[in-house]
Amino acid sequence: MGAQDNDVFFHVEDVPSPHMCFIFALQQAILCIGSTLSIPFILGDQLCTDLFPAQEKANVIAQLLSISMFMCGIATLLQTTFGVRLGIIQGGSHVFIAPIVAMMSLEKWKCPTSLEIPSANGTNITTFMNQDQKDELWQSRLREIQGNLMLASLIQVILGCTGIMGLLLKYIGPLTIAPTISLIGLSLTAVAADFNRTHWGIAILTLVLIGFFTLIIGRVRVPCLGFSLKKKCYVFRYPVFQLMPVLLSVGICWLLSYILTVTDTLTNDPKSPAYKARTDSRLDVVSDIDWFSFPLPFSFGIPTVSAAGFVGMLGATLSSVIESVGDYFAAARISNASPPPPHAINRGIAAEGFSSIISGMVGAGHATTSYSGNIGAIGITKVASRRVFQVAGLILLIGGIIGKFGAVLTLIPDPIIGGTLTIVFGMVAAVGISVLQFIDFSSTRNLTILAISMILGLMIPQWLSQNTDAIDTGTLEERGILKWRESLYTKSGGAMKPVMYEYPYVTKYIKKINCCSYFPLSPTFNKELNCSCCSKENETHEPSKGQEYHLAVGNGGAQDLDHGDTKF
């Protein structure tokens, strides 16, 4: 395989044509639907909705579904526009499920055994909760989750705005990034397995189709009809299978699931795991959800906080922050972009924290975080365009407001989602492993650190640490940091620049204000470890002052996608 195999068709700053942009964005939206919308169903069990009649429980879940999708859209738009500005989808974080379960297991929040109201006067007359009392039953618990989530997310905003995360980047090299990114992908295997177990046949078929479209016939350019004022109607060839493998695979397997559903080949027993492979397993969501709904802050009342709840949420928040830093580097690498500078990392973390605060305000019941699966999908679809991810955010936002639209996307059977997640999570792990090319494998120290990091990361999920003593030992060359940094400036043929992390239009004015260089979220923030180490040990690689650094990857833009002069 040539170098072009690792390139992308649309780089971060490229803009596909409007109709193709929508199709690419829909692929990304579909990928995050399964993971994000599984959270409201899990959350519903913690809010005592199991005590409600089926219809009332469905109404609560439908309401949470709309809010979750709405928040995914808001968070994605904030991250891609004002945050790290890479192609990253923001979705509901499963890391927060554990502290929520622990919080709801406290004696104060344990669910009653029934909806009966104990009689105060000792009579034998049985009375039940009215609708207002039922609402208070689950909303009071949701308010507790909201308050602690908002408080913990405020810490995340502080970490980003103060520049603490950006300052840590000078201690981060390939020996730190590689296991972090790899473990993010490997730790998500349980999520994919939960979706796949509903029907392994459909899940494997989805996986095989994605691999077939991407690896076997990905280079086949399909004749398509086009129209322009200059050429009128004309024929051009387009790599449909390479750019839309997820959408094609989901469509084919969704049709197969529909056929198996109408013929009752798949079980119609709701208690069976295979029931979720049916296309009508969530039809009640479509019928129960409102046509239009707009989440408003504090619509469930004023949030409450507690010490135990805050500590649990804070632990999940810190874990999410570390994961996100790894995601940013993974997104940059798989997009053939330059590594994000400290100010972009700071903005990304602050944007995630701010989005999670909004999520708590509107009652989503979960924080938002970077989705590794959608990052891995870039390696399959070869589309890293920021605009595509912004459109995906709009799709999710509209799906949250127009409830019926979002509910239709939830009808995608679980094993189809699982099949797609299997390959994209594997892609994330593979990207992490590829970073190891910069280190010296003949060093016993490097191998030992890598071994310990991987085994402890697998044994203790969600455990990550930075051992400063270990990082301080060994030379920069041995640890791979020197060669890694040099590769950012010396390779030829690339055109991706760190300018991609700057704000359009306003950065040129910010550069005129000298004090902005001290603000951690400013594109001119320069309190970082530059390449001075490179100049000391190899002065030939020191770029001139003011020179924009280039990462030698790709060809700097969308490739010529046909054999003529038509470019997309």
What pLDDT score does 468 carry? 44
Q: Where are the beta strands (DSSP E) in 23-125?
A: 90-92, 116-117
121-125, 273-277, 404-408, 514-518: the lowest-pLDDT one = 121-125
* pLDDT for residue 415 is more than 70: yes
Instruction: Summarize the confidence of residues 281-289 as an average pLDDT.
Output: 74
Instruction: Summarize the confidence of residues 323-340 as an average pLDDT.
Output: 86
Task: Give residue for tokens 């127009």.
Answer: 402
Instruction: Summarize the confidence of residues 173-178 as an average pLDDT.
Output: 75
Q: 3-class secondary structure for 250-284?
A: HHHHHHHHHHHHHCCCCCCCCCCHHHHHCCCCCHH
Q: Which comes out higher in pLDDT, residue 264 or 552?
A: 264
Is residue 155 a contact partner of residue 317, using CB atoms and an 8 Å limit? yes
* pLDDT for residue 541 is more than 70: no
CA distances (Å), 445 to each of 175, 249, 438, 454, in order? 11, 44, 15, 14
Q: Which two tokens stand for residue 341?
A: 């500078």
Q: What is the pLDDT of residues 542-553, one digit of tens each?
A: 444 333 333 333
* pLDDT for residue 424 is more than 90: no
Three-state DSSP class for residue 542: coil
- Of 96-100, 121-125, 424-428, which one has max mean pLDDT? 96-100
- Of 181-185, 207-211, 406-410, 552-556, which one has max mean pLDDT? 207-211
What pLDDT score does 498 carry? 67
214-218, 251-255, 348-352: the lowest-pLDDT one = 214-218
Instruction: Summarize the confidence of residues 178-198 as an average pLDDT.
Output: 76
Instruction: Summarize the confidence of residues 235-256 as an average pLDDT.
Output: 81
Q: What is the CA radius of gyration of the chain?
A: 25
What pLDDT score does 135 carry? 84
What is the percent of the chain where pLDDT is above 90? 13
* pLDDT for residue 380 is more than 90: no
CA distance 164 to 211: 41
Confidence band for 454, pLDDT divided at 50, 70 and 90: confident
Q: What is the largest CA-CA distance in the chain?
A: 91
* pLDDT for residue 332 is more than 80: yes
136-150, 284-298, 358-372, 548-562: the lowest-pLDDT one = 548-562
CA distance 151 to 156: 9
Confidence band for 565, pLDDT divided at 50, 70 and 90: very low
What pLDDT score does 60 carry? 82
Confidence band for 471, pLDDT divided at 50, 70 and 90: very low
Confidence band for 123, pLDDT divided at 50, 70 and 90: low
| 196 Cβ contact list (under 8 Å, min separation 6) | 203, 415, 418, 419, 422
Instruction: Summarize the confidence of residues 121-140 as an average pLDDT.
Output: 76
Q: Which two tokens stand for residue 87?
A: 């192609």
What pLDDT score does 486 carry? 61
Instruction: Let me know the angle formed at the C-alpha of 54 by 52 and 60, rounded to the nearest 5 degrees.
Output: 70
Write the single-letter amino acid at 515.
C
Q: Which comes out higher in pLDDT, residue 465 or 408?
A: 408
CA distance 507 to 509: 5
- Of 82-91, 192-201, 365-374, 500-509, which one has max mean pLDDT? 82-91
Confidence band for 35, pLDDT divided at 50, 70 and 90: low
Confidence band for 248, pLDDT divided at 50, 70 and 90: confident
3-12, 325-334, 340-349: the lowest-pLDDT one = 3-12
CA distance 87 to 69: 18
| Of residues 34, 48, 285, 33, the one with CA closest to residue 145 | 48
Instruction: Let me know the angle formed at the C-alpha of 375 by 558 and 401, rounded to the nearest 5 degrees.
Output: 95
What pLDDT score does 461 carry? 55
Provide the mean pLDDT of the chain.
Answer: 77
What pLDDT score does 481 carry? 62
* pLDDT for residue 558 is more than 50: no
* pLDDT for residue 557 is more than 50: no
CA distances (Å), 207 to each of 191, 356, 422, 543, in order? 15, 32, 7, 45
Helix ranges, 188-341 (H): 189-196, 200-211, 240-243, 245-262, 283-288, 307-334
171-175, 197-201, 419-423: the lowest-pLDDT one = 171-175
Q: What is the pLDDT of residues 146-167, one digit of tens each?
A: 999 999 999 999 988 988 876 7
Q: Which two tokens stand for residue 515?
A: 């004090």
What is the percent of the chain where pLDDT is above 70? 78
* pLDDT for residue 465 is more than 70: no
What pLDDT score does 352 carry? 94
